[in-house]
């Protein structure tokens, strides 16, 4: 056995409390090496009486490793444990101290999970597991009230989007189109920033306690939130707490008074007076944007101000969550206090961080509930949209992602395929609707919380910012209505079946050099789906072992079975979704 490939460490994503009764244990081994892996578990104060062997399952794999998992319910909420590996006639044991070829004589040298303290259990909001989000860029969704249009606003959709032009999108426009969201099947909205700012994207906040007048008023937002709640739709706002805007009054004061300003400590200033020298501001900013000065979230007054903002919109308007911009550049201590503040105001509020890389430090239950799952985005784009990797590499990327986080993180990860920061999905697919459907179907049959970027459902295209921020196409002649029906049908399928929302996913076919992907989805009650996809430009045959009777998940028609196998000829960029009848 390759001992160098075996890895485990207590806590993090390797040993964690899934709920107040259950501990998940994980261990890594070389891929395809072990015939079986077991966990040896028991209570440290009653070892001989409680000791037992728990078989582990290989729940994920990547290019190099298999990842094994077991769920254990310790009788007294504490656990000593080790691992037992089997290959042929060879056996190996792993304790906290060493590898050994014989069973450990007692529990003293085993790993220790001291106690499941309920306050330490990471429990993201339950409603998020069943949510399908819809992202709205407010300035470009719909113009419902021309009276609040910015000066010089252009007629709706009359020009290409630029970093500086306006078209008059507002909150009334969203209210006017809630039927569209309800018909699509989404039950949560993620709004890009709504607070007063000078730009069309509003990430340069001027007043954190005021809806931008071009969007409406605080009362209008309350009206919208209430209308959404009446339809069973949750609402999440964008919080830009890493930096403010050029016209944020404390920053204006520092610009005018320099080091003598009472707000000088609110920002990270390297040199007064504030200026741009050689293209670099003399104060820290988002990137090098002079109009986005970085806030000093360690400063007591800044901290109080921002935490009051977080509480205000929950208590006064009733929002259901915060998406946190540039979350990885803000100190961890602030986010811990932010979580305490938000959860005290609304215990089931969703806290979502914008982080584009491995995020385990923020996902230990003391900061965020989830992050924007860009590693998943990249894998899906690479395989389905751009075809730069084969099925094996895609499955390996997904396996690595599943192993990287605790199960409850996977269940509420924010899964997106495009946003205001990226080229639109159809554009990434080279305009091929078939590719787009496959990518979308995978997202909607994958663990986590899917999000649809406004307009994707009707076939809008566009390159990266600002091209991805075009005005929503409301005229039916500009919409791909068949694509819209596909989105609604796939969302409905997900919402109706727990197996498509569970964390249990297993790849049945994902071969090197192949463009064919087959995977299984299961629910705790035994509900079972098999999804087959052909991400290639030519037809492909699929044949999967499947006992019992099966039906097309969309139509309900019986699926063709031959000699105990589900069989289908998938056209280029075609798919089949089967449900066990």
- Distances in whole angstroms, Cα of residue 318 to Cα of each of 170, 241, 254, 342, 571: 19, 20, 34, 12, 47
Structure tokens at 403: 């192993």
Please say if 354 is a catalytic residue.
yes
- Distances in whole angstroms, Cα of residue 528 to Cα of each of 21, 547, 563: 26, 11, 19
Distance of CA 45 to the CA centre of its chain: 40
- Distances in whole angstroms, Cα of residue 534 to Cα of each of 320, 417, 426, 428: 38, 19, 18, 18
Taking residue 528's Cβ as centre, other Cβ atoms within 10 Å add up to: 18
**Is 513 exposed, middle or buried, given 0-12, 13-18 or 19+ CB atoms closer than 10 A?**
exposed
**What's the CA gap between 20 and 502, in Å, rounded?**
19
Q: Which of 170, 325, 457, 470 is catalytic?
A: 325
Please say if 325 is a catalytic residue.
yes
- Distances in whole angstroms, Cα of residue 504 to Cα of each of 32, 226, 507, 516: 20, 35, 10, 20
Check if the beta carbon of residue 340 is closer than 8 Å to that of residue 365: no
Q: Which of 69, 170, 196, 354 is catalytic?
A: 354
* CA nearest to 75, candidates 37, 34, 116: 116
Check if the beta carbon of residue 133 is closer than 8 Å to that of residue 236: yes
**Is 314 exposed, middle or buried, given 0-12, 13-18 or 19+ CB atoms closer than 10 A?**
buried
- One DSSP character per residue, 486-552 reads HHHHHHHHHHH-GGGTSSEEEEEE--TT--EEEEEEE-TT--EEEEEEE-SSS-EEEEEE--S-EEE
Catalytic machinery residues: 325, 354
């Amino acid at each position: 056995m390759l001992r160098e490939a075996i890895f485990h460490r207590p806590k993090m994503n390797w040993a964690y409390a899934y709920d107040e009764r259950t501990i998940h244990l994980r261990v890594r081994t070389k891929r395809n090496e072990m015939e079986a892996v077991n966990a040896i578990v028991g209570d440290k104060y009653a070892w001989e009486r409680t000791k037992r062997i728990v078989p582990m399952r290989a729940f994920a794999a990547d290019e190099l490793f298999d990842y094994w998992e077991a769920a254990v319910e310790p009788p007294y909420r504490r656990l000593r444990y080790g691992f037992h590996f089997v290959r042929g006639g060879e056996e190996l044991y792993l304790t906290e101290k060493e590898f050994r070829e014989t069973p450990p004589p007692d529990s003293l040298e085993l790993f220790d999970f001291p106690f499941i303290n309920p306050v330490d259990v990471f429990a993201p909001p339950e409603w998020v597991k069943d949510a399908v989000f819809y992202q709205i860029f407010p300035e470009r969704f719909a113009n419902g009230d021309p009276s609040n249009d910015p000066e010089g606003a252009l007629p709706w959709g009359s020009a290409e989007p630029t970093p500086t032009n306006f078209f008059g999108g507002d909150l009334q426009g969203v209210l006017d189109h809630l039927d569209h969201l309800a018909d699509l099947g989404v039950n949560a909205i993620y709004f890009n920033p709504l607070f007063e700012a000078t730009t069309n994207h509003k990430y340069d906040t001027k007043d954190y306690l005021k809806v931008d007048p071009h969007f409406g008023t605080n009362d209008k937002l309350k009206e919208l939130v209430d209308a959404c709640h009446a339809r069973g739709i949750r609402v999440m706002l964008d919080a830009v707490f890493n930096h403010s805007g050029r016209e944020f009054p404390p920053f204006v004061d520092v610009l005018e008074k320099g080091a003598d300003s009472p707000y000088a400590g609110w920002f990270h200033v390297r040199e007064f007076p504030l200026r741009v020298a050689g293209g670099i501001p003399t104060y820290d900013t988002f990137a090098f944007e002079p109009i986005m000065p970085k806030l000093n979230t360690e400063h007591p007054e800044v901290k109080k101000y921002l935490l009051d903002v977080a509480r205000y919109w929950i208590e006064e308007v009733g929002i259901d969550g915060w998406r946190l911009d540039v979350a990885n550049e803000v100190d961890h201590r602030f986010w811990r206090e932010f979580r305490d503040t938000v959860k005290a105001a609304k215990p089931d509020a969703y806290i979502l961080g914008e982080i584009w890389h491995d995020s385990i430090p923020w996902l230990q239950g003391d900061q965020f509930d989830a992050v924007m799952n860009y590693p998943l985005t990249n894998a899906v784009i690479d395989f389905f949209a751009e075809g730069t990797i084969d099925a094996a590499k895609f499955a390996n990327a997904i396996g690595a992602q599943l192993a990287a986080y605790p199960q409850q993180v996977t269940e509420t990860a924010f899964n997106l395929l495009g946003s205001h920061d990226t080229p639109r999905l159809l554009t990434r697919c080279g305009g091929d609707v078939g590719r787009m459907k496959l990518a979308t179907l995978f997202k909607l049959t994958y663990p986590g919380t899917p999000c649809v970027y406004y307009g994707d459902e009707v076939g809008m295209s566009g390159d990266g910012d600002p091209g991805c921020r075009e005005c929503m196409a409301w005229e039916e002649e500009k919409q791909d209505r068949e694509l819209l029906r596909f989105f609604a049908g796939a969302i409905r399928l997900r919402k109706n079946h727990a197996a498509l929302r569970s964390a249990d996913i297993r790849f049945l076919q994902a071969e090197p050099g192949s463009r064919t992907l087959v995977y299984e989805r299961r629910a705790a009650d035994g509900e079972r789906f098999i999804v087959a996809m052909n991400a290639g430009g030519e037809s492909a045959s699929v044949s999967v072992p499947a006992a019992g009777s099966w039906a097309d998940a969309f139509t309900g028609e019986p699926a063709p079975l031959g000699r105990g196998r589900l069989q289908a000829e998938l056209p280029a960029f075609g798919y089949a979704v089967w449900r066990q009848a």
